[in-house]
Structure 1
Amino acid sequence: MRKTLLPVFALGALLLAGTASAQTPPAPTRTRATIESVSETSIAVKTRTGQAVTIALTPETHFVAVSHGEISAIQPNSYIGTAAAPQPDGSLKAIEVTVFPESMRGSGDGHYAWDLPNANTMTNGVVGKLDNAHGRTLTVDYKGGEKQIVVPDDVPVVTLAPGDRTLLKPGVHVVVIAAKAADGTLSANAVLAGQNGVVPPM
């Protein structure tokens, strides 16, 4: 079981994947896919673009359960992550919101580039001001700054929890954070697996 290890696991490395500089090792890749099959040492997946990919599992692979959440879970002092798109007024429009458990508070803290087609930023931080009067508008505070984020009512909200290999089943939607070797093979650092049909929106 890896459940007790997850709070120690630097989930920030997972959420900051893609921000490496030329002086650091290549950033992990994010593969958004559906599991086709599972073996003791790998998972075969089909990406959202239809590509078949095999990703190795190792004793160091971490597993995270992604479950449906309610927008009411976003409260002042909640620790969240949100992929968002810039708006003309300087605010951000959320495409998804991930509510972290208390044990993961601080994971991936900051504001940085993201690689969803409709969301090119990720902001992880603490919910400060929350205005429900004109739609849900948040101020998210992180080390070194803050961002104002508008959260439409129909935005997917998910919660995270420590998981294990039993999450991996054919048909499960995943986001796999993997290291890419020189020969192009992938080895999973972490697998975020949707529960009960959830498609991890990050």
Structure 2
Amino acid sequence: MPLGIAKKLLLGLVLGTTCLMSLSLESNAQSTMMKSNNQPSAAQTSSHVNVRGTIESIAGKTLVIKTLEGGETAIILADDLTVNTVTKASIDNIKEGDFVGIANVPTSGGTSSALEVVIFPAALKGTGEGNYAWDLKPNSSMTNATVANAVKGVDGQTVTVTYRGGQKKIAIPDNTPIVALAVGKADDLKTGAAVFAPSEFGADSKFTSHRVVVGADGVVPPM
């Protein structure tokens, strides 16, 4: 075979191999990109959602809630489910040393304003202690803490509450919903009752709840 033709054939083989390598690399890159666009893991997609509404139905471990937004949400009740009830209380029931949960928003004066108050029983003191973001209103917080002092004023009452690592002064207007929390049971979950169900929304697109707060005697859980 003439030398010139042999060189051309060799060059063609080299270019062909390079082209195939290029196509292979491009295919691998697309495969890698497709994998990176897959659904995240369950741990990545699980998120906390507070479900508020009234019980539409309950069957076995499934609780269906008609939400405040008008839709329906089915919640799987965990095996370790805790049920709490809330009953109507008043500002006069708040004493120094009580453990309370207060949803609140900041004010221009530096004192936060309460959106609702939950008075915990002594047996549940310390539950969820701290100050963290809440979803009742924009920029709201939930402060679970001990009442250090309480001062009554013309328009409601102002309390100073303390928790690990901090304290907060919160004004409680006269029209603030106030409830007392108690230990309940699964039988308290009845059709038509108002509930608050902190839940986890998992990668399987299902809600699971380990705790449900239900209103007694027509009370709506305000948290």
Identity %: 36
What residue in structure 2 maps to residue 60 of structure 1? 80
Q: Which has the larger radius of gyration?
A: 2
1:176 and 2:217 aligned: no
Q: Return the match for 1:50 from 70, 76, 83.
A: 70
TM-score, normalised by the number of residues in structure 2: 0.76
Secondary structure of the residue that 2:80 maps to in structure 1?
coil
How far did 1:187 drift? 1.4
Tell whether the 8 Å contact from 1:130 to 1:137 is kept in structure 2 after alignment: yes
1:94 and 2:152 aligned: no
What residue in structure 1 maps to residue 130 of structure 2? 110
2:172 partner letter:
V
Distance change >3 Å, CA 39–CA 110, structure 1 → 2? same
Q: What aligned pairs does 1:123-142 form with structure 2 within 5 A after superposition?
A: 123-134=143-154, 135-142=156-163
Secondary structure of the residue that 1:166 maps to in structure 2?
helix
Which structure 2 segments of 5+ residues have no match?
1-42
TM-score, normalised by the number of residues in structure 1: 0.84
- Tell me the distance in 2 between the aligned counterparts of 1:24 and 1:68: 39
What residue in structure 2 maps to residue 7 of structure 1? none
Tell whether the 8 Å contact from 2:67 to 2:73 is kept in structure 1 after alignment: yes
RMSD: 1.7
1:28 partner letter:
H
1:70 and 2:124 aligned: no
Tell whether the 8 Å contact from 2:81 to 2:210 is kept in structure 1 after alignment: yes
- Tell me the distance in 1 between the aligned counterparts of 2:87 and 2:139: 21
Tell whether the 8 Å contact from 1:83 to 1:119 is kept in structure 2 after alignment: no
How far did 1:117 drift? 2.2
- Tell me the distance in 1 between the aligned counterparts of 2:47 and 2:99: 24
What residue in structure 1 maps to residue 182 of structure 2? 161
How far did 1:36 drift? 0.5
What residue in structure 2 maps to residue 16 of structure 1? none
